[in-house]
A = this chain, B = another copy of it.
Amino acid sequence: MIKVPGLLPFILIAAMQTFCSCDHKPPTPEQNQMVRLAKLVIDSTQLESYKAALKEEIEASVRLEPGVLTLYAVAEKNNPTHITILEIYADTNAYKAHLQTPHFIKYKTDTKEMVQSLELVETTPLIPGMKIK
């Protein structure tokens, strides 16, 4: 048996570096973003009320919360009760803080009976940091 106690730490470090070949750069702010599609179907008899409540909530969120990067809501032309929202938060903490704001809680309460279905789809952006001109 050959004794190489002086080399052992170096061998171990080299082995660990080989094994753990993943990229250890810390994530950029854009890579921390939480990007989601919210897909909603609204009661057609309450659509205008719903849209007014959503508009108010989005405008307050974008104005008051630096971590809400966008809430881009669209209604399908052929199915106006089908709403999709592209939601971008700076990170999960910004999203958690958003859920506690008075304007979000008011929106959730006021629209509870208007929303027939809500699907939240977590996504990965193809180009993090993409903007709207």
Give A contacts to B, CB under 8 Å. Answer: 35, 37, 51, 54-55, 58-59, 62, 66, 68-78, 80, 83-84, 86, 88, 121-127, 130-133
Known contacts A121-B76, A122-B77; A59 and B127 CB within 8 A of each other: yes
Nearest Cβ in chain B — how far from A39, in angstroms? Answer: 10
Identical chains bound together, number: 2
Q: How far is the CA of A71 from the CA of B55 in the complex (A)?
A: 23
| Majority-rule SS of A interface residues | strand
- A84 in contact with B37 (CB, 8 Å): yes
- For A37, the chain B residues whose CB sits under 8 A away are 74, 76, 84
Q: How far is the CA of A11 from the CA of B16 in the complex (A)?
A: 91
